[in-house]
Amino acid sequence: MFNKKICVSGLIFLILLIFTSFIKNETRLLEKKIYNLNHKISKLRHELHDAKVEYSYLSSPKYLFNKLSEFSSEKYVPRSFSEIYLSLSDLLEHQYQKTKINVYYDEEKTKK
């Protein structure tokens, strides 16, 4: 009664239609998951943001100095320039010079 071609194309169309709706449904579920995850992420980001603000307050130099004076009797003084070694080579060079001076003094002592 109907053309065969029309029937076949109709069938293919139906199969594709079902397939599309299935895919669409799966996508919807995935989107839901993504939405929930994003919600969680944003919540965590908010918490992180609050924690950062808290941290910056708790680690501010003024706060730390106050706490240090409250809980510790130890005094800290700035390091003098001669005690700062900015690289390992700086330190080694200083140590080498020190050793040289010590050796010289030792030799002088033995001579005496």
CB of 102 to another protein, least distance (A): 23
Closer Cβ to another protein, 7 or 101, answer by number: 7
* Least distance (Å) between residue 42 CB and another protein: 3
Q: Which of these, 69, 91, 72, 70, lies nearest to 82 by C-alpha position?
A: 91
CB-wise, 27 or 103, nearer to another protein?
A: 27
CB neighbourhood size of 87 (10 A): 8
* Rg of the chain in Å (alpha carbons): 38
Positions that interact with another protein (CB under 8 A) = 13-14, 17, 20-21, 23-24, 27, 31, 34-35, 38-39, 41-43, 45-46, 49-50, 52-53, 55-57, 59-62, 74-84, 86-87
User: Judged by CB, which is closer to another protein: 78, or 108?
Assistant: 78
Q: Pick between residue 77 and residue 109 the one whose CB is nearest to another protein.
A: 77
86/69 Cα distance (integer angstroms): 29
Count CA atoms closer than 13 A to 91's CA, side-chain side: 5
